[in-house]
């Protein structure tokens, strides 16, 4: 029997388990690439999986004889779930910092250092993704002093007419909260908010309706907030979510009542969190998933294609519009999810996006790629294959200044649409030679060589047939 039992009670270990589960769920939803591959498809929302993880964690930590050993064992457990570089992520830094604050043996931390970012009223731009490994190493070396056992709850107040708080931002705020975020209240004239009330209700918000009129939501939120402790005596922390400066008075009143206050505002993907008690501002960047980025890019392309005659949009134009709308550099987002890759690389790998490069003006153009559904394609003869390729080329070169596309692009798009390489189809049809030779033999195509690469375009009559 193991006699080296922990001196930490089960309630503390359960709280650590809860923090770990919340973080794993957040990573699973927002940054699944931080999980080891075999854990990326596990439904971490499942109460069963959370219970199993907590039980395993308690079993591992139950043998810790001191706090440092407990932290070491915790890190070993996390390493069994996450890739090594995940410990360079502020998500893990935040988790370990919150757990470190739970240390009940205050006297053991007399020599610890206290993090004090952005003091003297200066803004601290702490990005959600660290800029360099060195920045993280200096951050990681800091111990966090014990700030007392956490108790009470956190409450989020949202002026829904003034600030659209999405699920990603809300989850992030729950991560930086010192107390569990248990109550969320939104204020608005819901008759003028479309289906926003349904969405927020599904996300667990209590909804307070106000009459139509300027600043009515502000006034109700301030009045409710100043009497918050009467309704929720256990409140210790409040997130005041509104871009209006009038909320400063509410923040000051809550602070006077001994409540930790965060004034939250948002601009695109940038979250500003102001701590009036310390007079500090921190800026965070919420990194969206790559799927969401691609959806946003497709929306930009659709709008620009409708606005302009040309369906092909410059990649530089897309990047500029994305940055202006979402306050994010698209290449930085891509490199966060796929180190070493650019937006151009990801677009080239996306089945419903097509890229075209014009060497003479050093520009890359992007468009939405639309051809008939795969199930409608039948390739029984050489003529069938030629017609399909004509349709693809016609889609790619429509309304471009340069009518030629690389045959590698044509081959790639055929593969994505038809589900197999064009060479395999040629083999089934008993067509001899390689792909460029086949295109040469067709009446529909014109080929030219640029350097060591073949490019293809359509003869005029083929374009008419393809659009007919």
Q: So where are the chain's domains?
A: 10-117, 153-285, 290-467
- Residues 172 and 25: beta-carbon distance below 8 Å: no
Report the candidate in 9, 33, 21 with the shortest Cα–Cα distance to residue 77. 21
Instruction: For residue 71, count CB atoms less than 10 angstroms from its CB and return exposed for 0-12, middle for 13-18, buried for 19 or more.
Output: middle
223: enclosing H helix or E strand: helix 216-226
Report the candidate in 43, 24, 19 with the shortest Cα–Cα distance to residue 34. 24
| Backbone torsion region of residue 448, taken as left when φ is above 0, otherwise alpha when ψ lies between -120 and 50, otherwise beta | beta
d(CA 219, CA 144) in angstroms, rounded, equals 38
Helices (H) and strands (E) in the chain, counts: 19, 14
pLDDT of residue 400: 56
* In 227-329, alpha helices (H): 228-231, 247-256, 290-307, 315-326
Report CA torsion sign: 203, 37, 46, 56.
Answer: negative
Instruction: For residue 201, count CB atoms less than 10 angstroms from its CB and return exposed for 0-12, middle for 13-18, buried for 19 or more.
Output: middle
The bridge status of strand 153-159 relative to strand 235-241 is parallel
From edge to edge, which strands make up the β-sheet containing 260-267?
123-124, 280-285, 270-275, 260-267, 235-241, 153-159, 181-188, 206-209
- Residues 299 and 368: beta-carbon distance below 8 Å: no
Beta pairing partners, 139 = none
Q: Is the pTM of this model over 0.95?
A: no
* DSSP-derived 3-state class of residue 367: strand
Q: Can you give the pLDDT of all 468 residues of the chain as single tens digits?
A: 344 455 678 888 888 988 898 888 888 877 788 889 888 888 887 778 888 898 899 888 888 888 888 888 898 899 999 988 787 676 787 788 778 878 876 443 333 322 233 333 333 333 333 222 222 232 233 232 323 334 588 899 999 888 888 777 888 888 888 888 888 899 988 888 888 888 888 888 888 888 887 778 888 898 888 888 888 888 899 999 988 878 888 898 898 888 999 999 877 667 888 877 777 787 777 777 888 889 989 999 988 888 876 778 889 999 999 888 877 888 888 888 888 888 888 888 887 888 877 666 678 888 887 654 444 567 788 888 988 898 888 877 765 566 788 888 888 888 877 777 888 888 888 888 888 888 988 888 888 887 777 888 888 654 434 443
SS3 content of the chain, % helix, strand, coil (to 5): 50, 15, 35
The bridge status of strand 235-241 relative to strand 206-209 is unpaired
Q: What are phi and psi of 96, to 5 degrees?
A: -65, -35
Domain 153-285 has CATH 3.40.50: yes
| C-alpha distance across the termini of the chain, in Å | 82
Show the tokens assigned to 79. 């390493």
Residue at token pair 């395993």: 56
CA distances from 421 to 378, 384, 443, 456 (A): 15, 15, 22, 18
């Amino acid at each position: 029997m193991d006699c080296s039992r922990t001196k930490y009670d089960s309630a503390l270990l359960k709280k650590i388990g809860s923090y770990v589960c919340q973080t794993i769920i957040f990573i699973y939803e927002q940054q699944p690439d931080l999980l080891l591959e075999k854990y990326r498809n596990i439904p971490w929302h499942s109460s069963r999986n959370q219970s199993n993880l907590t039980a395993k964690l308690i079993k591992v930590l139950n043998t810790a004889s001191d706090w440092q050993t407990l932290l070491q064992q915790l890190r070993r457990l996390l390493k069994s779930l996450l890739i090594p570089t995940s410990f360079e992520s502020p998500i893990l830094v935040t988790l370990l910092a919150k757990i470190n604050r739970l240390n009940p043996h205050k006297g053991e931390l007399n020599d610890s250092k206290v993090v004090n970012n952005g003091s003297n009223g200066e803004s601290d731009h702490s990005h959600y993704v660290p800029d360099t490994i060195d920045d993280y190493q200096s951050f990681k070396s800091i111990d966090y002093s014990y700030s007392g056992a956490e108790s009470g709850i956190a409450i989020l107040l949202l002026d829904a007419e003034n600030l659209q708080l999405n699920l990603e931002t809300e989850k992030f705020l729950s991560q930086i909260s010192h107390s569990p975020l248990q109550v969320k209240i939104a204020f608005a004239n819901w008759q003028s908010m479309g289906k926003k009330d349904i969405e927020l209700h599904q996300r667990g918000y209590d909804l307070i309706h106000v009459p139509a009129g300027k600043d009515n939501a502000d006034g109700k939120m301030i009045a409710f907030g100043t009497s918050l402790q009467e309704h929720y005596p256990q409140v210790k922390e409040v997130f005041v979510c509104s871009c209006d400066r009038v909320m400063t008075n509410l923040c000051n009143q809550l602070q006077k009542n001994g409540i930790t206050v965060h004034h939250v505002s948002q601009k695109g993907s940038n979250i500003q969190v102001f701590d009036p008690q310390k007079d500090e501002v921190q800026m965070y960047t919420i990194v969206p998933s790559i799927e969401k980025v691609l959806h946003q890019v497709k929306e930009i392309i659709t709008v620009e294609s409708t606005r302009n005659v040309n369906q092909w949009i410059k990649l530089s134009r897309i990047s500029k519009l994305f940055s202006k709308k979402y306050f994010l550099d698209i290449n930085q987002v891509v490199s966060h999810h796929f180190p070493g890759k650019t937006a151009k690389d990801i677009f080239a790998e996306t089945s419903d996006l097509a890229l075209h490069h014009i060497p003479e003006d050093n520009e890359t153009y992007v468009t939405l790629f639309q051809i008939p559904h795969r199930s409608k394609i039948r390739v029984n003869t050489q003529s069938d294959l030629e017609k399909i390729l004509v349709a693809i080329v016609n889609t790619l070169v429509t309304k471009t200044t340069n009518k030629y596309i690389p045959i590698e692009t044509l081959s790639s798009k055929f593969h994505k649409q038809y589900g197999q390489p064009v060479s395999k189809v040629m083999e089934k049809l008993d067509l001899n030679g390689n792909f460029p030779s086949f295109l040469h033999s067709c009446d529909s195509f014109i080929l030219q060589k640029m350097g060591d690469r073949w490019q293809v375009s359509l003869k005029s009559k083929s374009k008419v047939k393809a659009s007919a």
